[in-house]
Amino acid sequence: MRALVTGGAGFIGSHLIDRLIGRGDQVVIIDNLSSGNVSFIQHHLDSGKATLIHGDVTVFDDVMGAMAGIDCVFHLAANPDIRLGTRITDTDLKQGTLATYNIVEAMRRNDVPKIAFASSSVVYGEDAPLPTPETHGPCLPISLYGASKQAGEGLISSWVGTFGLQAYIFRFANIIGTRGTHGVIFDFIHKLKNDPSRLEVLGNGMQEKSYMEVGDCVEGILHVMSSADAPLNLYNLGSHDTASVRRIAEIVVETTGCHGAKIEYTGGDRGWAGDIPRAMLGIEKMLSTGFDVRYNSEEAIRHTALALIEEIGLDRR
C-alpha cells in the first residue's frame, strides 16, 4: 500500500510510519516541520521507504502535489497546542478545519479512496458522561481546537456520504510516549530541568484524564482499520483508567529524582481556558475489535517520563 501521512514528522505520525514501513508500505509524508522533527523519520528517508514533502496542508497545491498514487491518507497534521487557539483565534480554523477540507477535496480529485483522521476526546466537551461512548451527543466542544476537530469529522463524514470516501475517525485520549514534544509530562520535565527545586502545576492538580501510550495508539489505529470495514468508522482510542495531574507530578518528581521539588498548584479546576478537567473515553467498541492496550494510564506515564528524561537530557538525581 502507498500511504500519505500528513504530519508524519510529528510525535504520533513518526510512530505510525514505523509501523507502516514495518508492514511493507511505501510512505509519503507531508509536513511543514512546525512541530515535527526530521530526525524522527530520517532512517526511513535514508532507506528510501519514505519520502518527505516539505509542504503545508493549509496550501491546497501542496496537498494536491502529495496525492498521486496514494491508497490511504492518515491525516495527522494539526496545531498541537490547544492554548495557541486562545491567542490567535483562527489557528485551528486554518490548521484544522481548512486543512481537512484541503485533504478530502484533494483526495476526491485524485480518486484516493480511504482516510484515517486523528480526532480527539475533546470533541465531547465537558458535560459528557464518563466514560464517554462514541454514541454520546450532542458533541459540544469548548476549545477552538475541539471545534476544528469536530468540523474535520463533519467534513470527512460529508465526503463519505457524498463522494463515496471510506473513513476511519479516531477520537484519541491523551497520547504519550517517546518522541513526545508537548503535553503535561514534557512540560513538567522541562520545568524541573530549569529549576529542580519547584514544579508549578497549572490548575489544582485534580484534573483527571486517561492516557494512552503512543505504540498502543498506532497499533489500535491499524488494528481497527484491518477489522472494521463500514463506509464511516468512528472509534474512541484510549486506555482503561485515568490518572490525575497531581499523580503525574508525583511520578515525574520521583522518576527525575528531584525529590526536594516543591509541587505548587496555580489553582482552579482546569489548566487553561478550554481545558476539560475530567475526561475518559469509553473503549468498549475498540475492545470489541479484539484490540487491547498494553499499558494502563499510570504505566504509560511512568514509561513516558523515563523516556523523555533521556530525550530531553535531564540528569537523573
Question: How near is the Cβ of 121 to ligand NAD at its closest, in Å?
Answer: 7
**106 lies in the site for ligand NAD, by CB under 6 A:** no
The verdict on 41 binding ligand NAD (CB under 6 A) reads no
Q: Is 300 in the site for ligand NAD (CB under 6 A)?
A: no
Kindly tell me which residue out of 143, 150, 174, 233 binds ligand NAD, with binding defined by CB under 6 A.
174
Q: Which of 9, 52, 202, 261 binds ligand NAD (CB under 6 A)?
A: 9
Nearest distance, CB of residue 211 and ligand NAD, angstroms: 9
Q: For residue 168, with 0-12 CB atoms within 10 Å meaning exposed, 13-18 middle and 19 or more buried, which class applies? A: buried
Can residue 175 be called a binding residue for ligand NAD (CB under 6 A)? yes
Q: Is 34 in the site for ligand NAD (CB under 6 A)?
A: yes
57 binds ligand NAD (CB under 6 A): yes
215 scored as a contact of ligand NAD (CB under 6 A): no
- Is 56 a binding residue for ligand NAD by CB under 6 A? The answer is yes
282 binds ligand NAD (CB under 6 A): no
Three-state SS annotation for the chain? CEEEEECCCCHHHHHHHHHHHHCCCEEEEEECCCCCCHHHCHHHHHHCCEEEEECCCCCHHHHHHHCCCCCEEEECCCCCCCCHHHHCCCHHHHHHHHHHHHHHHHHHHCCCCEEEEEEEHHHHCCCCCCCECCCCCCCCCCCHHHHHHHHHHHHHHHHHHHHCCEEEEEEECEEECCCCCCCHHHHHHHHHHHCCCEEEECCCCCCEECEEEHHHHHHHHHHHHHHCCCCEEEEEECCCCCEEHHHHHHHHHHHHCCCCCEEEECCCCCCCCCCCCEECECCHHHHHCCCCCCCCHHHHHHHHHHHHHHHHCCCCC
* 181 binds ligand NAD per the rule CB under 6 A: yes
CB of 81 to ligand NAD, least distance (A): 8
Number of residues that bind ligand NAD (CB under 6 A): 28
Q: Does 85 bind ligand NAD (CB under 6 A)?
A: no
Nearer to ligand NAD, 7 or 125 (CB): 7
* 120: contact with ligand NAD by CB under 6 A: yes
Q: How far is the CB of 249 from ligand NAD (least distance, A)?
A: 18
Q: Which residues bind ligand NAD (CB under 6 A)?
A: 7, 9-13, 30-36, 56-58, 76-78, 80, 95, 99, 118, 120, 172, 174-175, 181
